[in-house]
Amino acid sequence: MTREFVVLPDTNAVAAATADRLIAAGQAAIADHGHFFLTLTGGSTPQIVCPLLVVPPRVLQLDWTKVDFFFGDERAVPARHPDSNYNLLRETLLDYLPSVGPGQIHRMIGEATDLDAAARAYQALLNRIVPKGTSGLPAFDFVWLGMGPDGHTASLFPGTDALAERERLVVSNWVPQLDAWRLTLTYPVLNAAHMVNVVATGEEKAWAVRAVRDGTEAPPPAGLVDAEQTVWLVDQAAATG
């Protein structure tokens, strides 16, 4: 397990580095085992990264027909709802990749009446499609995560039950501070990934970046992500201190 911090000048540089690392990971995965198992993030980072992925040269550098797209978390809303992570990625990335078929896109069913059943179904999907790693768990080639100002990543929010989950790969998670339910991947499957990139930009996240870097005893939720290779891409503002 390795953790690396890459400090870049600004948000645009972080976005470009994220896009480049995703493309490089996809090329390596396809060369190695013929397919790229990718987990996408929600939040604000797709809006700055995805526009770089859907235009030349990057869009031409990856065989998108060999990519399986998964999601790190989802809000409890329908697929076309403005708050849906799937909808965000559809509008910023997936709709611009005409070579991608619907069978390659594996969304979480946020509108399910039984979110626990939806979480279990998504876990079964991961076990069926994503190759197992040395841990015996599904091992994504690349997991793209963001981090909120409170230190959360995916829908692993401070003080929520999902932080303590060590068996299940996907759970429904009640987030009191948002008064909302979420679906989220958990640490066991995130930490089984071959590579995780965590994107953090902005001065309001500097405390969390510093806590993770310094290895404090009580890190923010994002600091508990510890995959085979975990790379933090941060701008100068988030690296303050």
**Residue 241 included in any domain:** no
Task: Give the pLDDT confidence score for residue 184 in this predicted structure.
Answer: 98
**Residue 240 included in any domain:** no
**Residue 215 included in any domain:** yes
Task: Give the pLDDT confidence score for residue 193 in this predicted structure.
Answer: 98
Q: How many domains, the chain? A: 1
Cα(118)–Cα(125) distance, rounded to whole angstroms? 10
Residue recorded with tokens 């979420």: 182
How buried is residue 152: exposed, middle or buried, by Cβ count under 10 Å (0-12/13-18/19+)?
Answer: buried
**Residue 90 included in any domain:** yes
What is the extent of the structural domain holding 10?
2-235
pLDDT band per the 50, 70, 90 thresholds, residue 217: confident
Span 34-91, pLDDT tens digits:
999 999 999 999 999 999 999 999 999 999 999 999 999 999 999 999 999 999 999 9
Mean pLDDT of the chain: 97
CATH number, domain of 117, equals 3.40.50.1360
Task: Give the pLDDT confidence score for residue 241 in this predicted structure.
Answer: 59
**Residue 212 included in any domain:** yes
At a CB cut-off of 8 Å and minimum separation 6, what does 65 contact? Answer: 99, 100, 101, 104
Residue recorded with tokens 């999902």: 162
**Residue 40 included in any domain:** yes
Span 154-200, pLDDT tens digits:
999 999 999 999 999 999 999 999 999 999 999 999 999 999 999 99
At a CB cut-off of 8 Å and minimum separation 6, what does 236 contact? Answer: 7, 8, 9, 10
Asked if 24 and 55 touch (Cβ cutoff 8 Å), the reply is: no
**Residue 229 included in any domain:** yes
Cα(111)–Cα(61) distance, rounded to whole angstroms? 35
